[in-house]
Structures are given as C-alpha cells and as structure tokens.
Structure 1
Amino acid sequence: MDFKDIAVSKDHLQSIVKNIDYNKLILYHYDRLFKETKEDKLHRKRESMAGCNSFWVLDQYEQAKVKDFKKTNLCKDKFCNNCKKVKQASRMAKFIPLIEPYKENMYQLTLTVPNVKGEALEETINKLFKSFARLIEYFKGKEKIKGLDFEYWGYKGAIRSLEITYKKVKRGRGFSYEYHPHLHALIVLEGELGERLYKNPYSKDYLGNRAVRKFNKEELLIQKIWRLLNDGKRVTLKNIEALDIGYSCQLDRFKESDFIELFKYMTKATSEDDKGMEYIQFKTLYYSLLNKRQIQGYGCFFGLKDDEEITAQEVEEYYNSLIEDLRAKENPVERLESPQDLVEDDVYTLISRKKIYQHLKNIKNN
C-alpha cells in the first residue's frame, strides 16, 4: 500500500495553521465582549476556541514512517475558521447523495434584500426566514394569490441557507457598517418555466455598466412577491402589478459548484475588502445569529437523513485493515503534535479516516 494515496496534504495543513492564526483575532473579540457583558458563556467560548485544533493525537509508526491521525479538539464555534470548513464538508457529504435523485429539476434560487445597519440585522434575518416560508407556501399551493397559478411550476421541495456578508463604508468624515443578509436555496421545480426575455435594473453587472442577463416571468414574479413579503405588505395581484420592481432574485439551473454556496457557513471570516472582522462587526453578528438555524429543508427535503455513498462501516473496515498491517510489524507510539509541527515534517506520511473516505470514493467513481 502506497500511503501517499491517503496522505493529508501540506497545503491542507498550512490552511489549518492559517486558520488557527486568524482565530486569534476572534479570541480577542470574545475577550472584549466578555469584559463588556460579563456573560460566562463568552468566556467558555473563548477558552474552547483557544484550544481548537491546536494539537493532534497521532499514532507514530517508526518503520513505515507513518503518522496516523486519531483525533483533535474542535470548538464548533460559528466564527471558527477551522470548524466552519469541517461543517461545510460534513454537510456536503451528508446531503449531496440524497439530493442527487432530483438533479434534473434542481434550481439555485438566490434571494436578497437591501443592505441594513447592524441594529436592524437580527430583525431582517427573522423576516427573511418568515418570508421564505411564505414563499414556499405559495409555490406548493397551500396559500393562494387570486389570479396567479403556481401549479405549473411543479414545486417538490427546497433547502434554504442563510449567508451574511458585511463591509465598512466611508460616510463623510466617518464610517458606517453595513450587512447584507441573503438566502441561497436549492429548489426542485418539475414544470416548464418561461424564456428569459425581460430586462430590469438587476440585469446589469455589479458596476451597473452593462446588461449581463435577462429574466423569465417567474423570476420577475418572485422578485415582486419577495419585496412585498419582506416589506410587510399584503401579497395580492394588485399589489404585485403596482410594483415597478421587486427585490433582487435569480433562479438558475443548479450547477455542481452551487453546492458550495448552499452548504457554506453563515458568515465569512473576512469582510468584502478581505480585512479581518472588526469588533463591532463581530458583536453585531454574534447576537444577530444567536439561535438561528442556517439550513432548513422543505417538501421532499424535509427531515433528510445521512445516507452516504461510502458508508462509515466501509471506511472503518478499510482503515482497520491498514492499521492491522502496520501493527503486525510494530507497535505505535502515541504522540501529541501541533499542525505547525506536521507542516514541517517531511519524513512521515500523515493519514486519516477522512482521506481514506476520499480515497475509497475515488476508487468507486473510477
């Protein structure tokens, strides 16, 4: 067995080291918020993140020059760069095989609202969730809009995910902080939708210079309904027709790369200008996202359960056979090492169950 096939890459280790280093900024923010509020759970979160992924328990095989990853400590904090990556990978492994049967009729629906100030962020997120649930009720025909028919859309189910970006904006001599909460949704529609024939201000690129897309009539309808829902207005055909334009939404055929958008974490580690999160941004996001459920399934995706292509038992059996071969030649020495140490180690091959899963999946696919 060539252990290089299941080796953890140096690039992966270096990304972990980078994330650990970035987390120092979040630790500082947790410290400051704890001193400000005296909330004990903030201190506990800070301590948990401080030790996150800092040391790995390994079995070292001297003759084979192999280090076998056993476990590490993860804090599972929503602001932790390491844990967010782990969560995203876990979601993709869990849900993608279950979504696969619907791939011929899947769409990526992106729903946005205007940017908001920090004090309005939590209320805006709550509105987004309620508005999306209402929108789904229209799609499935449980709630009616007189004069409109959604039956031909052939709605079967959806998964929605929350994302928030943020930026610091110069205002005169000072600055303000803006937040852009929006939803990514996978939606299954078995009906035939209209052609893309229509332009509106959302057709232009982000600089507003040129038209880059046209919309179909279904997208224009969603845009207007979405605006009425989030503005707290009655959704009637009269109110829909009275609007010149709604809020931005795009409905496109679902691509493989859209899974990353759907299952990624709620907020990025850096702001849109690639700078570290400031304390005021951290505080706003921390309280606005408390007890918020990022992923929600509807219809055919309600209550999804894990059913991976490669089962945990297969990984365990393969892993055990490798370890038995190694232990037949020598007994390992348990070690405690940091990711930084492992980046610098060019002698030993580092293996893990996760890499074995990927290796088995590649074998099956080929």
Structure 2
Amino acid sequence: MRRRDLLTLGATGLAAPALGSSAAAVDMLGQAVVLTRPPRRILLAEASDLIPLALAHEDPLALIAGWSAAERLGGNGLLQALQSRHPEAAAIPWVGGMAADSFSLERALDLRPDLVVLTAYQEPGLADGPLTRAFRRAGAAVVFSTAPGDGDADHARRLRLFGAIAGRPDRAEAFLSFSAARRAEIGAALQGATPTSVFVHFYADPGAPCCMTTGLPRWQRFLRATGGIAVPPLSSLAQIAVSPEDILLVQPEVVVAARTLIPPADRASADSFALASLRQRPGLQGLHAVARQRLHGVWAGLGEQPIDLLLIAAMAHWLHPSRIPAALPGELLTVLRRDFIAVPLEGRFWSDLHG
C-alpha cells in the first residue's frame, strides 16, 4: 500500500450553511429532536462527547456551558492538553464525575443549557428518566449520544447527530467520507492476508491485574477489519478474565495492550505505555510475541469515538506490517488534526515495545 493513496485530503474549504431554518437531530435512541436554531449552551453529560462535537463544529468550546465525567477524556490526558492550549476550557464548569450518582442536577440547571447531551449510563431512565424530565421542564432539548448496551456504537450515526446539533452536517459528512475511504483502502491492502492471532489485553493500565480481555462487538469488528483473530476465542462479554496459563498455552502472534488512560505526549516514547514493565507480567513474560517485540499499546478510548480509524490503522500495521506501513497511523492523525478536528489531540495514542 502506498501511503499517498491513503491520505486524500479532507475538510478544507467547507462553507458554513445558512442558519435560521429548523433541523431534526436523530439521537442514538432514535428520537427526533427539532432544533429551531443551533444551540448556544450545550451541557455534555460525558466530556468525551467533545470529540464528535469538535469534528462537527469549528469552535466547540464556545458552545459548551458545562460538562461532567472528565475520566472519559483519557483519564484527564486529553483534558490537560486541551486546557494548556485553550485556557478557556479550564473555565467550563463541571457538574459531576464518571459515577452516575455524582451528577449534580442543581448545578447543571443553574447553567441554563439550551441542549443537554445525555448518555444511557448517566441517565438509565432514558427518555422518561428524572434527568431528562427535569431538563425538559426547564426548557432544554435533550438528546442521547449512547443507547443501552451500546457495545458497538454506530459512530457514523453519532457523528451525524452532532453535525445536526452544530448546524454543520457538511463537516460531519466530510470526515465520514474521509474515514470510509481510508478504511476501504486498508481493507483492500489486507485482502487475502492470513489472519494473525492476537490477544487484546484490556484494562492494561499500570497496577491493573493480569489479564483481562474483552468480547465487546466493536473489538470483534476491529479484529475483522485488521485481519486478526482473537485468542483465546472471545465470548460476547465486555470483560473476560483470562488466566496466565491460558495465554501461554495459545501463544498469540501479537499482543495489544488497551489502556484507559492516555500517557502525556512528553513521556519517553520507548515506555510511553509502560510496555517494558507490562512485558514482565505473568502470562505475558513467556510469550514468543513479547520476545519478538510484537507487544503494542493503544488508548482504548479510540475505539469509542468516530476517530476509531486511528485504532484500525495502528492494529492493521501491527498485525500485518508487510502490508500496512508503520507511518500510516501517524499520518492519518496529522490529517485529522489539520483538516477535521477543532481541538488539539495531544498525547500518545499508541506505542510499540521498541519505541
């Protein structure tokens, strides 16, 4: 695969559409919410929804009246980078943490949002839940960016929701077209490749026990898209405990350590995901893949966002390095930063044992 074939340029020269007409935003519950104008004071129940909002709007921070669940921004890694580049982000009020019972409805209502973006986790009652009813009584529109049991969210649909919210469906469609083209090119490059066996070590953060994996549908989709096959074979459970003995028995060709936290960008690249210490864990220490330096780290949050193309590109190279160039994920990230997303994406989102 030639890298220049994968890097068709993106959303340059987009013209803002005329405002003033009403638009319907269909959320992840299938609810259609009519917006008479783009909202000006958005409350994000989970701060990670900043990413699709920043893909859909050129100045997302100006729209955010408040947010919660900073942990969803890579354990503050993305938030710290954002606040260092955009001091106004530090002034956005917080109304709670990741725990659903930490969400302060009183503080949220005091912010007088005109649109509230909830998640199925933060409001398990969904459209009839107490948070939803309270915000609607206060005159705010309510949409949901996730649905119950959303193990493989439709990122295209989610991004289109934010495109409608921001009044910029053109920006959303531009990124979706870019992403779809790059995925197709990766798929073509992997056509006919022998599947590579891989152990996805989920929750691979420092101090976490060894070894968990995941059967979430999105990770099974990532493996299919990157020419991989999970070992041991996965069930559909979100969290699966695997004994060190079982990992040693199956001897995967590649190990992908998925972390929930984003290491700071200035960490030494050779150990940015603590891979040197991770390789010493029981179950990993005796793997041929680790001895051959086919142990890699990635931010698991990439798989929960419309920018999961970056995860696919990284995994495709790790599993099939002769077909997918090592530089591809970084080049795609460069295009994403330059042409599509309106907030800084800083930090190391993936790493290799050797660098």
Output the TM-score relative to the length of structure 2: 0.25
The structure number with the bigger radius of gyration is 1
Bigger relative CO (Cα 8 Å, ≥ 6 apart): 1
